[in-house]
């Protein structure tokens, strides 16, 4: 016959066992910290020779390199500080340090600026790196314009489905947002009466339009969706 103390001991053992199971299967803060952040690269570097090489924490991520207009997907990295270096012959190297948070994406846009001659150095092209953090759309679908063109200010026009054009002022190295009224399809754009590549629109979200100069100084544009890259559960 079991005594009251025996029953109590059995109940205590069962409670401890259930608690151990609970702790085993419920992920704690450490599991959440294991989720990566992401870096995305957009090559807007028209100057220099050969291809653009990218190094993350000293390691090359693509030995074949990148050409003007290339856009990568999200490159997963551990949360924390990382050094990103860009190298291309004919342009001084560019280096930036990121403090990357889990489940967030930072887009890096390397481009070049002309540096005037000094007593120590002749005039040359220096690499600069623009960071673009994820932006919430101002409407269900919106366009974010960002310019690394040498032109200080650009006026881009975006069309509505009824054919009406709306002007958006885009200052160099800053962002400007505008609603997209198209539910899907291709949204016409133009600048200085010259057509730019239309924005391919589908699911709701933020669509980025990067304005940059090619090697001849002509204005170009490329589009990318501002995805939020998430790690698998």
The CATH number of the domain holding residue 52 is 2.60.40
Regarding whether 165 and 105 lie in a shared domain, the answer is no
Closest CA to 82 of 65, 66, 101: 101
Instruction: Indicate whether 1 belongs to any domain.
Output: no
Closest CA to 228 of 62, 107, 52, 60: 107
pLDDT in tens, the chain (233 residues): 545 455 445 544 444 444 444 434 444 455 545 799 999 999 999 999 999 999 999 999 999 999 999 999 999 999 999 999 999 999 999 999 999 999 889 999 999 998 999 988 899 999 999 999 877 777 889 999 999 999 999 999 999 999 999 999 999 999 999 999 999 999 999 999 999 999 999 999 999 999 999 999 999 999 998 765 433 32
Domain range for 209:
135-227
Q: What is the DSSP string of 30-71?
A: HHHHTS-EEEEEB----SSSS-BEEEETTEES-TT-B-TT-B
Instruction: Indicate whether 205 belongs to any domain.
Output: yes
Instruction: Show which of 111, 134, 157 is a domain's final residue.
Output: 134
């Amino acid at each position: 016959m079991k005594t009251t103390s025996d029953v109590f001991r059995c109940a205590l053992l069962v409670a401890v066992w259930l608690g151990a199971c609970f702790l085993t299967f419920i992920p704690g803060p450490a599991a959440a910290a294991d989720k990566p952040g992401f870096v995305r690269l957009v090559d807007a570097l028209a100057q220099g020779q050969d291809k653009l090489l990218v190094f993350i924490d000293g390691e090359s991520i693509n030995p074949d390199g990148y050409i003007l207009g290339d856009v990568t997907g999200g490159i997963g990295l551990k949360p924390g500080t990382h050094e990103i270096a860009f190298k291309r012959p004919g342009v001084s190297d560019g280096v930036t340090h990121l403090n990357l948070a889990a489940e967030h994406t930072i887009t890096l846009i390397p481009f070049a600026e002309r540096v005037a001659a000094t007593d120590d150095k002749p005039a040359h092209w220096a690499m600069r790196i623009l960071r673009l953090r994820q932006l919430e759309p101002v409407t269900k679908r919106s366009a974010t314009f960002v310019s690394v063109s040498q032109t200080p200010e650009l006026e881009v026009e975006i069309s509505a489905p009824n054919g009406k054009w709306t002007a958006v002022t885009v200052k160099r190295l800053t962002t400007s947002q505008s609603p997209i009224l198209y539910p899907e399809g291709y949204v016409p754009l133009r600048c200085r009466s010259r057509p730019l590549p239309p924005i391919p629109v589908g699911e709701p979200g933020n669509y980025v339009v990067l304005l940059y100069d090619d090697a001849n100084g002509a204005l170009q544009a490329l589009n990318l969706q501002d995805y939020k890259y998430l790690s698998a559960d």
